[in-house]
Amino acid sequence: MKKQLFSFAFVALLGAASATSAVAQQAQLSPTSVMVGGQAMLPSKNIVANAVNSADHTTLVAAVKAAGLVETLQGKGPFTVFAPVNDAFENLPAGTVETLLKPENKATLTKVLTYHVVAGNMTADKIMAAIKAGKGKASFKTVSGGTLTAMMNGPKNVVLIDEAGNVASISTYDVLQSNGVIHVLDKVLMPK
């Protein structure tokens, strides 16, 4: 009986040590990873490699593929991507996503998607510093050539305003990537 208890305790100890080791190893591999869409976004991976793992960004990934932007967003960068979640696309007027995904609308889709991308590595601290320097507002030129306006909504919440006046909140900040940073948005932004 003592021998069985000892064996059981030893196996339990090994299991706990193994689990602790796995957690420590995970922390060691990705100390700055952020969970998005149920998956760890690893800073060692590029924007596309991480985005395809997020259950919250399947519509965005499909749109990026349809627009032919995968290779671009896998490039060196750095890029700042304001990434709308699936719900943001679902809240667009009925038929908008389906229309944008049609091959004949590739140019419009590309413009909408690149409107969510700013050249450079704009972390939350940099965005907030720009807002402060701009006395409450900061403007960012997007890859599409449009402008996004950033403002504070409370002490720690940045909102983005598109050229149509729509407001999107950043729900997750500073998802670091090997070629930039992603900020998760609750709405799709639209250029003029």
Per-residue confidence in pLDDT tens, the chain, 192 aa:
444 433 333 333 333 333 333 333 333 344 567 878 777 777 888 899 888 888 899 999 999 999 999 999 999 999 999 999 999 999 999 999 999 999 999 999 999 999 999 999 999 999 999 999 999 999 999 999 999 999 999 888 999 999 999 999 999 999 999 999 999 999 999 998
pLDDT at site 31: 54
DSSP sequence for the chain:
-HHHHHHHHHHHHHHHHHHHHHHHHHHHH-TT-EEETTEEE-TTS-HHHHHTT-GGGHHHHHHHHHTT-HHHHTSS--EEEEEE-HHHHHTSSTTHHHHHTSGGGHHHHHHHHHTTEEES---HHHHHHHHHHTTS-EEEE-TTS-EEEEEESSSS-EEEE-TT--EEEEEEEEEEETTEEEEEESS-----
User: Yes or no: is domain 32-185 CATH 3.90.1150.10?
Assistant: no
For the chain, which residues make up each domain, given as ranges?
Answer: 1-31, 32-185
